[in-house]
Chain A
Amino acid sequence: MPKPLNSSQIFLQGLWNDNPVLRQILGICSTLAVTNLLVNTLVMNAGLIFTVAMSSLTVSILRNYTPMKIRMMAQTLIIASYVIIVDIAISAYLPDISEALGPYVGLIITNCIVMGRCEAFAMKNRPWPSFLDGLAMSLGYAAVLLIIAVIREPLGFGTLLGHQIMPDGFTPWTIMIMAPGAFFTLGLFVWFLRAKFPQTAGEKKQGH
């Protein structure tokens, strides 16, 4: 069994080396869906960070009592509970954003990062490292979403966090608001980072 990671290694993994969006290409659906407005992205990020961190923590606490055969069912139940709590909180305190995010808060349940971390990390590690891993991975996801939103909102709406930042004569690029704009932005971004900082053997070979 490999040596357990310490906290800074866990964060390095989540934010960079094993970043869920950049390296694992997980959680793409919501990355595409919620990044056309920065404020939506921020709320979505907060929801995901809470869900992943708390689910990983809970799954890890229960890992020695959970029968292997029904662990997926148990994980789904735990994740779904946290997601519903997030959904209720957003619709109670941020009703406008809740409308704007529509089904995507509920769809955090199906975000591969959440269950992926429960299965890959929390089932094998102690609660505290699991919590940190959930935090690190979701922060890695959040960072990528923020960067994409900061590109998409100014180009698509001419604004950032609702404030006009583009010059008056600027024509908004409608495509940046829609899914294709997100595909282009994400694709170019992942390509750029992977070409600049190759990690796998295949990426390195192409780089040289």
Chain B
Amino acid sequence: MKKRLYSIAFMFVLTFFFAAVVSAVKVHNEERIQTNQQVKLQRIILRVLGVSVDEKAPNREVIQAFERRVKPIEEKGQTLYVGYSEDGRSITGYAFPVGGAGFWGPVYGMVSVDPEASRILGIAFYRHSETPGLGARITETWFTKQFTGLSLFPVEGDKKIFYLKPAGPGKGPNELDAITGATGTSRAVEAFVNRDLDRFLRETWKHVKKG
């Protein structure tokens, strides 16, 4: 009996001690971790809105640029990031999150459209667990820059705004290069980006236009 009580007391003290240490470390670093995540998202939003920020720019600079050029608004439960021109007078575009199931895990991205919601300005994927060198190439510039300028009005007779097709000549205006060797990831990206763009155009855009 005594032995058992000792075991319980030992485990209790040990747990208490280590939980305290771990909590202290966590609390001490919480702010820094949150800032890291926030700045990472801000960098992505600035990038898709076409505001160039040096990749090595310190966090403080990113936060300043973000505050000057971007204003987040809530519209129908969706967060929209409104991009403003350098002088702050005119709107340059709207950015909003896209994302869904990739091939191995969830993919998170950000897309932006021009002020008339007629074309895509830019797209970026910032969190995923796709295979490095294959599916993970969705983050590479050659892949994302294909989206820039893509018309949001579907080509007559097409169900989707765009298609990812195996790389090759003879492409329609809404056919982009898929990633060779990552058919699963390409299909997934095609599906959820189309879905999220469609949802934005049908649900959110009407309210934004009204003001």
Range of interface residues on chain A? 20 to 34
Partner of A92, one of B6, B21, B33, B181: B33
A74: nearest residue on chain B (CB-CB)?
A: B14
**Residue numbers in A under 8 Å from B131 (CB-CB):** 177-178
Q: Does A77 belong to the interface (CB within 8 Å)?
A: yes
Contact stretch, chosen from A78-86, A112-120, A126-134, A200-208: A78-86
CB–CB A99/B127 < 8 A: yes
**C-alpha spacing A89/B14, complex, angstroms:** 22
A88 near B26 (CB under 8 angstroms)? yes
Q: Which of A43-51, A64-72, A160-168, A183-191 contacts the other chain?
A: A64-72
Judge whether A174 and B134 touch: CB under 8 Å: yes
* Residue contact B11 to A92, C-beta cutoff 8 Å: no
**Contact partners of A70 in chain B: CB under 8 A:** 7, 10-11
Residues of A near B133 (CB, < 8 A) are: 156-157, 172, 174, 177-178
Q: Which residue in B10, B26, B127, B132 is a CB contact (below 8 Å) of A74? A: B10
Mask for A88-100, Cβ within 8 A of B = 1, else 0?
1101110100010
Q: Is B57 engaged at the interface, CB distance under 8 Å to the other chain?
A: no
Please indicate the chain A residues that have their CB under 8 angstroms from the CB of B22 in the complex. 81, 84-85, 88
A67 touches B6 (CB 8 A): yes
Task: Give the most central of A62, A78, A88: most B CB within 10 Å.
Answer: A88
Cα–Cα, bound, A85→B24 (Å): 10
Question: What total of A-B pairs shows CB separation below 8 Å?
Answer: 69
A105 to B21, CA, bound (A): 19
Query: Which residues of A are found within 8 Å of B118, using beta-carbon distances?
Result: none
Task: Tell me, yes or no, whether A123 is within 8 Å of chain B by CB.
Answer: no
Contacting residues of chain B (1-48) with chain A, CB-CB under 8 angstroms: 3, 6-7, 10-11, 14-15, 18-19, 21-22, 25-26, 29, 32-33, 36-37, 40
Interface of B is mostly: helix
Whole-angstrom distance between the Cβ of B20 and the nearest chain A Cβ: 10
Residues of A within 8 A of B15 (CB): 77
B129 within 8 A of A: yes
Nearest A residue to B19, CB-CB: A81
Which residue of B has the minimal Cβ distance to A157?
A: B133
A66's contact among B10, B37, B129, B134, by CB below 8 Å, is which?
B10
Bound together, the chains give a CA A55 to CA B121 distance in angstroms of 51
A156 to B133, CA, bound (A): 8
Chain A min CB distance to B150 (Å): 27
Residues in B whose Cβ lies below 8 Å from that of A172 = 133
Q: A95-B37, A177-B134 are in contact. List 7 more A-B contacts (CB 8 A).
A: A65-B10, A78-B14, A81-B18, A88-B26, A88-B29, A92-B32, A156-B132
12 residue pairs from A and B, CB less than 8 Å apart: A74-B10, A77-B15, A84-B22, A88-B22, A88-B25, A95-B33, A99-B127, A102-B129, A156-B133, A174-B181, A177-B131, A178-B131
